[in-house]
Every structure is written in C-alpha cells, then in structure tokens.
Amino acid sequence: MKKLSGNFRNNNNFIKRVQVLSVVVVALFLVVLLKLFQVQVINHNFYKALAQDQHEFFEKIIPERGEIFINDIYSDKIYPLAVNKELNLVYAVPKNIIDKKETAAKLSELLEMEREEIFKIINKKDDPYEVIKRKISDEAAEKIKNENIIGIKTSPEIIRYYPGNYLAANIIGFLGYSGHEKVGQYGIEGYYNEKLRGTMGFLELEKDSSGKWITFGSKSSQSPEDGDDIVLTIDQTIQYISETKLKEAVLKYGAESGNIIVMDPKTGAIIAMAQYPSFNPNEYFKEEDMSVFLNSSIHNVYEPGSIQKPITMAIGLDLGKVSPSTTYFDKGFLKIDGWPINNSDGKANGKQTMTEVLEKSLNTGAVFVQQQVEKNDFYNYLRSFKLNELTGIEIKGEAKGSLSNLDNKRDISYATASYGQGISVTPLAILTAISVFANDGKLMKPYIVSEFIGADGYSEKNEPKIVCQVVSPKTASLISAMMTSVIRNGHAKEAGVSGYKLAGKTGTAQIPKKDGKGYEEDKTIHTFVGFGPIPNPKFSILVKLDSPTNAPYAANTVAPVFSELSQELVNYYNVPASF
C-alpha cells in the first residue's frame, strides 16, 4: 500500500508537472502566435515596405534636355544657343581622407582653388559626400584621377551650356534650380520647360542580397523620352549686329537701358530681339539684379509717344475722315478740358497737311485727326491693333499694355492718346502694330519659335498666323508713303539710308512719375519704329533708349541707330538700291 501510494503520489506530481509544463508551452506558443499576428497582420505593410526596399531596385532614368538653336540663313545650318555638355565634378568622401591638409594642398594646385576653401569643405568627420568643384574639364578630371588621392573622386555631370554667351540671353533664359530640381527660368527655357525637359523613364527590378540584379526576377522599365529641340526664328548675324549697335547707342547717349527688335513684317517672325543691359546665362548666378533676366521688349510697358501718330492717322484715313492732303490750321497749341497741348517744337506751323503732321510730328495735328473720329471707333481701332493685349510671344514674362485711360471717355484722354501719351504698350506690341502698314493692313501674330524637333526626328513647324485685317491695303499703303516722307522730308532724316526708301517715325515720350501725378521733368524715352525697303519691306525695326542724357530728341539718338541697322540689313539680304 505504501509502495502503491508512493507511486501514486509520484505519478500525481509527474502529471501535475506535465500539466504545468503544457500550460507554459501553450502560453509561449500563444505569445509567439500573437507576435506573428502583430508582425504579419497588423504591421504587414511596414515589413513589406522594408523588405521591398531591401530587394527591390528602382531608379529614375533622366531624359536628355532638348537643345535650342537659331538660324543662319546663308549657311542653311542651325547654330546652337543652348546645349547639354558633359563635364565632370570633383567630390570628396571626407570620412575616408586620412591627411586632410595634404589633400587640400594637392587639390588646390589641380583645381586652382584656395587651399583653405578646399580644407573647409573636406574637414568634416563621418561625412560621406561633399562636392568640391563642378564643371571640370575632362583633362583636369583625368589629372585628378591619375593622382589617386584617397577620398577624392570624380564623376561625370551634364550641364547646360550656352556657346553664344551673351548672345540672345534675354530670349533663351537659363536652366536654373527650383530646390534640387533643374528648371528652365525666363525666356524660352522657362516658357517651354516641359517640352525641353522630356519625360522621365524608370527601371524597376529585383536584386539579391549582394545587390546584383536577379536575372529571372520580376522587372519593368520605361524608356525616357528626351526633350524636343527648339529652333528659333532668330538670325544669328542680325541678333549679334543688333546687340552690338544697341550697346554702343546706350553707352554713347548715356541711356539707362535699351531695346532693339527686328521683325519680318510679312510673317511676324522675330529676327532679332536685343536688350541692354543683358547677362551671360552661363553665369546667371553672378547677377545681383534679377530684373536683368526679364525680357524688357515684352515685359516693360511704357507710353509710346509720337510713334503712335501713324496709327492715329491710319484710323482717320481708314474711316475716310481725312486724306494725306487734308489740311488743318496749326496754332501750335490746344486747350482741351482745361489742359494745354503743345507741339514739341513749340511752334505754330500754320496750314499743314496730314503728311506734314507726321513729318513734323505735330501733336495738334494728331489731336485734329482723333477729333474727326467717333470716340468708340477710335477706341475700337486701337483695340484691333492689339495694343492692350498679349501678343502670345513664346517667351516667359510677357505683360500687356493698357487703354484703360480711355474708359473715362474724357476728351483730354482721347486727345493725349492720339499722340501716344496716357496709354501704355510694350515695345513688341507697338512694333507689331506698326508692321501692319508694311503688310497690306494685316496684323500678324509675332512668334519666335520656328520649329520643334522631337527626339525621334519628327518636326513640327510653326506657321505665320494672321490675327486680323486691321486697316485696308490702301490705308496701309498711304501710311507707308507718309512714313517714308517722314524720313525723306521730315525730321527723321538721320534714319535714312542712301539709295533706299525706308518708312519710319520718331517718338520722344515723357515718363510718368512713379510717385504722384504728372511726368518726369528731364527724362524721356526715345523710340524709332520703321520698316523697309519700300515697296517690298523685308524688315520692321524698333529702336528704344530709356532716359538718354546726351541728346534731347529721338531724331538725334535712335534714328541714326535705325539707319545703321537698316544699312546692315539691306546688305545682309542683298537688296540692291532702288534709286
């Protein structure tokens, strides 16, 4: 019995221990199960992402940015204005550099940089990457590689390069940065950033633990689409001549700035668009005044002054209210709504024809024409010349002019508008309007992009567009003849070119005060607009100088520039003299 009960007790203890052990095991099992549930169900997405990061490889493939070209009509080839250039950058892995001072000394000679500057960059503990210098030539990069400096490496980089430097800078813009992303800014680079950038591609595949691609693993890819190349309507030679002449004029006449625009009046194609001061897009980061990046030919609005008079005259002629030989009596001044209006020469010229109004640039004559026309008609004609609308030119930053002063319907507002004060226009808008008279009365849409060329070679050409028939061909012809008389017989003789008939008009406009009413005392804007050679105009030109100090009137400043440029153009286009 004792033996039996002893055995029984032992068995009981054993069973109890087994039971306890079972409970412990089950409990442990439950803990593991719960943990598994937590990992595989609750945190499923987290661990899935972690695993994907380890064995999945994803890389964006950057497309090549499209390039920008301009024309050279004689070589029939295109000249690159903006290209992608492969250079090198030198970078350091500071944590691997043993002797930083010696490394800085070696690099200082090779990179032509200050030793202290290099030392400052590389003297960082545990830093895996620091760029020391960019845009290194292949030869310099090769020298650095051959030196085998520990912790110093080179890698290729693609940069945007502008071989023309300053040439057409305000047309192209530049490729800058927005955060870490390269973005076209201003000009064509900004306007067509999406087209030039192309479409990113990607490569997605599985990699093994050593980082190698698993051949039979899943993979997907999309080839990048390179950006479109853009060919401009700009002519390299005429652009260069315009920029040179403009810079000379700005410096000679002590102006603050200036513009020259050359356009084909028959198509609206922009042949040249110069601006001074300008900048070098290869070194845009050195400019302190960002306003230099804006294209003032399309961005700056101003009161055009007397170059408005041919438009006023055309309105009167087109409505049949006046003819070139219509006369009026010029007393030298007028008073409208209590405001005095004088001629610029202060003279009373007596009986004058409409042609003489343009030849002598008589403010009273312009008011006379405006007063023959209903105000609504006058306003509608100004609108049909698109003076207060965007031209749609493909450059970033275009502003539009304003005719809002005419909304008040006051006589004085319409009178001043007739000679180009109280309204505002951009240089491109007023040149486009004047070009109507060189094109049988048709207003053309100005454009600067001639062609897009896709990466696959597909070409998309831009065709000239007629906006509207503003005045009749007869009116255009009459105004053309009257403007030719301005150069031959009027006070714009300095704009003439011997042997050629050119049409033009000067404008010396007052500048409104920035703070307060009225105009600046001693500051004016000088403009000359014209076209030729008559009777078959190949070019229309605007020359503008802001606040020249060495001469009072446009006839002495911008008119000679127009003459020089026209001479270059007739020679360039091989146009023989007509008389």
Q: Which residues bind another protein (CB under 8 A)?
A: 79-80, 83-86, 161, 163-165, 167, 236-237, 240, 571, 574, 576-577
**What is the closest distance, in whole angstroms, from the C-beta atom of residue 163 to another protein in the complex?**
4
Strand residue runs (E) in 316-462 = 327-330, 333-336, 339-342, 350-353, 442-444, 449-453, 459-461
> Is-contact 378 414, C-beta < 8 A?
yes
Nearer to another protein (CB atom), residue 240 or residue 333: 240
Nearer to another protein (CB atom), residue 47 or residue 573: 573
Nearer to another protein (CB atom), residue 79 or residue 447: 79
**What is the closest distance, in whole angstroms, from the C-beta atom of residue 389 to another protein in the complex?**
34
Would you tell me how many other CB atoms lie within 10 Å of the CB of residue 145?
Answer: 14
Nearer to another protein (CB atom), residue 212 or residue 335: 212
**What is the closest distance, in whole angstroms, from the C-beta atom of residue 195 to another protein in the complex?**
21
Nearer to another protein (CB atom), residue 86 or residue 520: 86
The per-residue DSSP string of 218-246 comes to: -EEEE--BPPPEEEEEEEHHHHHHHHHHH
**What is the closest distance, in whole angstroms, from the C-beta atom of residue 80 to another protein in the complex?**
5
Q: Which residues contact 202 (CB under 8 A, 6 or more apart)?
A: 58, 59, 60, 61, 221, 222
Nearer to another protein (CB atom), residue 85 or residue 120: 85
The whole-angstrom separation of Cα 85 and Cα 282 is: 12
Nearer to another protein (CB atom), residue 236 or residue 435: 236
Structure tokens at 372: 């023959």
**What is the closest distance, in whole angstroms, from the C-beta atom of residue 144 to another protein in the complex?**
19
Q: Which residues contact 435 (CB under 8 A, 6 or more apart)?
A: 263, 265, 268, 443, 444, 531, 540
Is the previous residue joined to 552 through a cis bond, with omega within 30 degrees of 0?
A: no
**What is the closest distance, in whole angstroms, from the C-beta atom of residue 165 to another protein in the complex?**
7
**What is the closest distance, in whole angstroms, from the C-beta atom of residue 432 to another protein in the complex?**
27
Query: Nearest CA to 78 among 64, 88, 68?
Result: 68
> Is-contact 505 472, C-beta < 8 A?
no
**What is the closest distance, in whole angstroms, from the C-beta atom of residue 240 to another protein in the complex?**
4
Amino acid code (one letter) for 485? S
The whole-angstrom separation of Cα 555 and Cα 117 is: 55
The per-residue DSSP string of 360-402 comes to: HT-HHHHHHHHHHS-HHHHHHHHHHTTTTS----SSBT----B
**What is the closest distance, in whole angstroms, from the C-beta atom of residue 111 to another protein in the complex?**
21
Question: Dihedral (C-alpha) 506, 398, 437, 405: value to the nearest 10 degrees?
Answer: -70
Nearer to another protein (CB atom), residue 86 or residue 208: 86
Structure tokens at 253: 């006449």
Nearer to another protein (CB atom), residue 237 or residue 432: 237
